[in-house]
Amino acid sequence: MSTVTIIGSGRMARGIAIRMLHARCQVKILGRNGLQTRALVEELGPGVQGGFPGEPIEGHVVVLAVPYADVKEVILEYGSGLDGKIVVDISNPVDVAGFDRLLTPPGISSGEQTAELLGGGADVVKAFNTVFAATLHEGRVAGEPLDVFLAGDSEDAKAAVGRLVAASGMRPVDVGPLRRARELEATMLLVMGLQVGDAHPHFNWNTALKILP
């Protein structure tokens, strides 16, 4: 049985943990907020363990379920402890003050910045940034399984994350190399702006991007 370590204990961490349990994985949640982490572990039940950032990483796949602003700190904290792992960057570097710009410099994505910080010691896969936390509980929207778009330079790493996504009841969609994370993140700038805009009051963070058929 695979073990997936999730760094973070917020809503996205909860949603991804639910899907990984559906995929019959063991889940380790490492969160700074001890009370929040403990409550999440107790809510999710068997198959989930809790801990604090800095503990040794269990399993081969590590999900950085933290905001964009915290990714660098997490990577620096773990250092070589992430070597040889598949690191999943889920962040959206969107300026939530106005939902009108990305916080990344032109020509680079958060996923690529994560890879630079890791210095080649780990394989980075951009994933889960195009799904909202509320949709992960069921893994479906309007009866359709969620599409999880994957970008990464390691075909083996993408395939490994894709297998977890498929086993969890969702559909992995390989969009190409890690630089495609730029388009994934820019797309979510648009989608998140629609979620908060007055023109679409029926959008309530439970929408999904879907490639049909």
Q: pLDDT tens, 48-63?
A: 999 988 888 989 999 9
Determine, yes or no, domain membership for 112: yes
Average pLDDT over residues 69-96: 96
Radius of gyration of the chain (CA): 16
Structure tokens at 137: 């509980």
* Residue numbers of the domain that contains 116: 3-196
Reported as a single tens digit per residue, the pLDDT across 140-156 is 999 999 999 999 999 99
Q: State the residue for tokens 């996504």.
A: 165
Nearest to 195 by CA among 104, 134, 139: 134
Determine, yes or no, domain membership for 89: yes
Determine, yes or no, domain membership for 158: yes
Inform me whether the pLDDT recorded for 169 exceeds 80. yes
Q: Say which CATH number the domain at 35 has.
A: 3.40.50.720
Q: How far is it, in rounded angstroms, from Cα 103 to Cα 167?
A: 33
Determine, yes or no, domain membership for 210: no
| Secondary structure in 3-state letters for 166-179 | HHCCCEEEEEECHH
- What confidence score (pLDDT) does residue 54 get? 83
Determine, yes or no, domain membership for 117: yes
- What confidence score (pLDDT) does residue 57 get? 92
- What confidence score (pLDDT) does residue 200 get? 87
Reported as a single tens digit per residue, the pLDDT across 185-197 is 999 999 999 999 8
Q: How would residue 9 be classed by pLDDT, with cut points 50, 70 and 90?
A: very high
Q: How would residue 8 be classed by pLDDT, with cut points 50, 70 and 90?
A: very high
* Domains: count for the chain: 1
Q: Which residues pair with 50 in a beta bridge?
A: 29
Determine, yes or no, domain membership for 208: no
- What confidence score (pLDDT) does residue 53 get? 80
Could you tell me the pTM of the whole model?
0.96
- Looking at every residue in the chain, the average pLDDT score rounds to 96
Asked if residue 76 lies in contact with residue 119, where contact means CB atoms within 8 angstroms, the answer is no
Determine, yes or no, domain membership for 132: yes
Question: Which residues, 6+ apart, have CB-to-CB distance to 109 below 8 Å?
Answer: 93, 126, 178, 179, 181, 182, 184, 185
Inform me whether the pLDDT recorded for 1 exceeds 80. no
Lateral strand order in the sheet of 86-89:
48-51, 26-30, 3-7, 61-64, 86-89, 123-126, 147-152, 171-176
Determine, yes or no, domain membership for 180: yes
Peptide bond into 201 cis (omega under 30): no
